[in-house]
Chain A
Amino acid sequence: MRGIVKRFPGVVASDGVNLGVRQGEIHCLLGENGAGKTTLMRILYGLYQPDSGEILLAGKPVKITSPSVALAHRIGMIHQHFRLVSTLSVEENVILGVNEGMGPFLRLGKTRKRIAAITDEYGLSVDPKAKVWQLSVGQQQRVEIIKALYREADILIMDEPTSVLTPQEVDQLFATLRTLVDDGLTIVFITHKLNEVMQVSDRVTVLRQGKLVATLPTSQTDKPSLARLMVGREVVFRLEKNPPQQGEKLLQVSRLHTLNDRGLPALRNVSFEVYGGEILSVAGVSGNGQTELAEVLTGLRKATSGRILLGGKDITNRSAREITDDGVAHVPAERIKMGTVSNMSVRENLILKDYRHPPFSRGIFLNYKKAEANARRAMAEYQIAAPSDSSAAKLLSGGNIQRMVLARELSGKPRLIVAVHPTYGLDVGATEQVRQVLLRQRERGAAILLISEDLEEVMALSDRILVMFSGRVMGILDAEEAEAGEIGLMMAGVQREGVRR
């Protein structure tokens, strides 16, 4: 790819990038969120058209105007969020959009034979007749790989393929990728995790703010220098953390059950406690009940049985407003959809929780002077970069939106903070800041329940780690003694002997 430029309103997502990928290698594309990795690959896959620049395949310039053109050039892409139709079977997903002659009619016998050949060769076992929604995330990823191989892809683009996998599944994926490369495939692997780069790639290209910083053979570099290239400055890997000052028992959850949106059990007999001055992390592969747990605790979902005590007071199935008034802060997973009202100003978003009380209200009227002062103070304290306190929240970047949510949620000195994926999708700087904020709250004596799928974050921040699988608590570990491998097994549903329940 030569001189690729792509502009979006307000940003240059790709700024004259020259990327060279060799046949038969695993090439990592490393960069922070928003560095332009995905944009670049979407251009290669025909989902975006570059404003300028050209793409050469085996030396010949090609115009890739849509995914079907990319597929014709044998380029396949596996998106971060899988592109599978969950109500269709595996084989239907695989043949979707493939033209094998025969007009509209299917030849399922032949299809099944080809799928079987692929799955046998690469150890990608999956039942071709199963519906996709019945499969685990790891299996769904296999379907995506089978899809690409069925189309005889030579170049396979994978966008953050490990973000939804357990550590064991990641190892399995890497082994598969190796065999694919040995068979002559070329793989472009998008990631922001340094470990993965070192583990899997032959060469690595670092992107920063849409610009290509360097392309290096992996064997000639190391994590610290890659991190420097990626962020543009030195990065601290360790978080400074004081020993825990465990306070009183603030949250007690006992035998909690609830249902998910489909009416199936989402939490089964969940019991745990959180003390003041500690961070209890909930680790697990997404979709194992973590979201529902956060919703039940914050009053957004009804518990079918069980009890939630906040400082001794029963708050089970109380309304979200009552629970908020009792000193529970909620940093929701969907910070744009649930954490803010996009069309309202920063000033208004900051008082969404307290607008009913003085000083922000005077009878039925709002006191805008007070709201403005509040906004100024919060913007300074939390370093929220916005054109002004009256600009709409939707104009802010992800990091600034999250700082705004934190400023609002932490304003009343809450006793319990429920934070769901608080750093998901943030760049390294913003991530560091959010973590510092959480640690400051811990020092202050708040109880923090951190729900995260990022194992590194869980290990770095928490005092204790609760692992969830299929709506059950698999065990609670002391963070000091916990090992990633062990947590990984528990995340996959393997019960450990003698774990404190």
Chain B
Amino acid sequence: MGWETWFIVTLSRTLAYGTPLLLATLGEIYTERSGVLNLGVEGMMIMGAYAAFSTAYTTGSPWLGIMVGALVGGAFSLIHAFASITLKANQVVSGLSLTMLGLGLSGVLGRGWEGRPLPVSIPEITVPGLSKIPFLGPMLFEGQNLIAYFSILLVVVMWYILYRTRIGIAVRAVGENPAAADSLGISVNKVRYLCTIVGGILAGLAGGYLSVAYRPAWTEGMTGGMGWIVIALTIFAFWNPAIGMLGAYLFAALYHLSFRLQPWVSPELLKAMPYAFAILVLIAISRGTLQKKMGAPAALTLPYSRSEE
């Protein structure tokens, strides 16, 4: 294999593996921007993956499956929203429980689904014309699926909404200074609920992508810690969708390289690489003072109630 092919395959696989990371990161960015930390990404993703697979298997429609996966992710996030927004529970505890619940529940429900191949998965497409471009063509426009392109479109849309619309200003205000938003007649809880659900839907979609498009099968715990990388990526992205895209592909490239380099480096070490990188990123940027400078939403993890001053 010449270096050119090697390069093309690496980048093409990066795009494929980066898509679920990107989708879930975009969702978590919105959730955290509104002041809610949801550590349940892993749980929402795996529930989405299971729901998408079982639906696609039963109905034969992968598209219906992936939609159900998104809906289940959204519904699952409601547990966290209710606990942390309405009941004002500790967001870390509630988010962690959501992850545990998701992993456990999908494991129980998924028994018997394991090892079954999905008859129809989301098709890989080749964009006519564009795929003929040398180098770029096979890299970006061959063997991808529509969801990958959809996720890139989503980056643009979500960036625009966050920084250039009334909705975005409201979301950022609620995450920064909920009292200010409240005193201007914005419903803090409504904004937070919506953002948490958006996070859940996108995490569910990411899970669905894994089980009906990326690797059309169901395995217990198939998200393999991806949810935690998403949390790290959200911080890495400075809560900005555009940087989130960069981060997601960077991590995906690392992940892919861990397979590619196996002939030379021990596979265990390589498998640990993306996670080690995630930890390094978190250590580097989560020091208190730095986090403030970086612009973490000031009200992140803080429940809001009017009477407290």
B161 within 8 A of A: yes
Task: Determine which of A81, A82, A96 lies in contact with B184 in the assembled complex, contact meaning CB atoms within 8 Å.
Answer: A96
List B contacts of A105 (CB < 8 A): 165-166
- A104-B161 contact in complex given A66-B185, A262-B289, C-beta closer than 8 Å: yes
Does B145 count as interface, using CB distance less than 8 angstroms? Answer: no
A88 close to B166 (CB less than 8 A): no
CA distance A77 to B185 in the complex (A): 12
Contact status of A88 and B184, CB under 8 A, knowing A104-B161, A106-B166, A262-B292: no
Question: In the complex, are the beta carbons of B184 and A83 less than 8 A apart?
Answer: yes
Give A38 to B181 CA distance when docked, in angstroms: 19
Q: Are B185 and A87 within 8 A (Cβ)?
A: no
Q: How far is the CA of A59 from the CA of B298 in the complex (A)?
A: 42
In the complex the two chains form, is A106's CB within 8 Å of B165's CB?
Answer: yes
**For B170, B185, B293, which residue has the most chain A Cβ atoms within 10 angstroms?**
B185
Contacts of B161 in A (CB 8 A): 104
Query: How many interface residues does chain A have, given as a range?
Result: 20 to 34
With an 8 A cutoff between CB atoms, is B167 at the interface?
A: yes
A45 to B177, CA, bound (A): 18
Q: Chain A residues near B165 (CB, 8 Å)? A: 104-106
Contact B185 A68 (CB under 8 A): yes
Q: Is A85 an interface residue (CB 8 A)?
A: yes
Task: Verify if B172 is at the interface (C-beta below 8 Å from A).
Answer: yes
- Residue B179 is within 8 A (CB to CB) of chain A in the complex: yes
A261 and B180 in contact, given A97-B170, A106-B164 (Cβ under 8 angstroms): no
User: Using Cβ atoms and an 8 Å threshold, which residues of chain A touch B142?
Assistant: none
**Closest residue to B288 on the A side, CB-wise?**
A261
Tell me the number of A-to-B contacts counted with CB atoms below 8 Å: 79
| Structural contact, B183 and A67, CB atoms closer than 8 A | yes
Query: A270 CB to closest chain B CB, in angstroms?
Result: 22
Set A87, A95, A104: member contacting B172, Cβ < 8 A:
A87
Checking B180, B295, B307, B309 against A96 with a beta-carbon cut-off of 8 angstroms, the contacting residue is B180
A245 within 8 A of B: no
Q: What is the chain A residue whose CB lies nearest that of B184?
A: A97
| Cβ–Cβ < 8 Å partners of B220 in chain A | none
The distance in angstroms between the C-alpha atoms of A98 and B177, with both chains bound, is: 17
The reply to whether B293 and A96 form a contact with Cβ atoms under 8 Å apart is no
A92 adjacent to chain B (CB < 8 Å) = yes
Q: Decide if A71 is an interface residue (CB 8 Å cutoff).
A: yes
- B235 contacts partner chain A, Cβ-Cβ < 8 Å: no
Residues of chain A contacted by B186 (CB below 8 angstroms): 96-97
* Pairwise interchain contact A263-B184, C-beta atoms closer than 8 A: no
- The reply to whether A85 and B292 form a contact with Cβ atoms under 8 Å apart is no
The answer to whether the Cβ of A86 comes within 8 Å of any Cβ in the partner chain is yes
Residue among A67, A81, A86 making CB contact with B185, cutoff 8 Å? A67
Least Cβ–Cβ distance between A43 and chain B, in angstroms: 12
Contacts beyond the supplied A96-B181, A106-B164: 7 A-B pairs with Cβ under 8 Å: A67-B184, A68-B185, A77-B183, A87-B298, A88-B173, A97-B186, A263-B289
Q: Give 16 CB contacts A-B under 8 Å.
A: A48-B307, A66-B185, A79-B183, A81-B309, A85-B180, A87-B172, A87-B298, A95-B169, A96-B169, A96-B173, A97-B184, A104-B166, A104-B167, A106-B164, A147-B184, A263-B293
Residue positions of A touching B, CB distance < 8 A: 45, 47-48, 66-68, 71, 77, 79, 81-88, 92-93, 95-99, 103-106, 147, 261-263
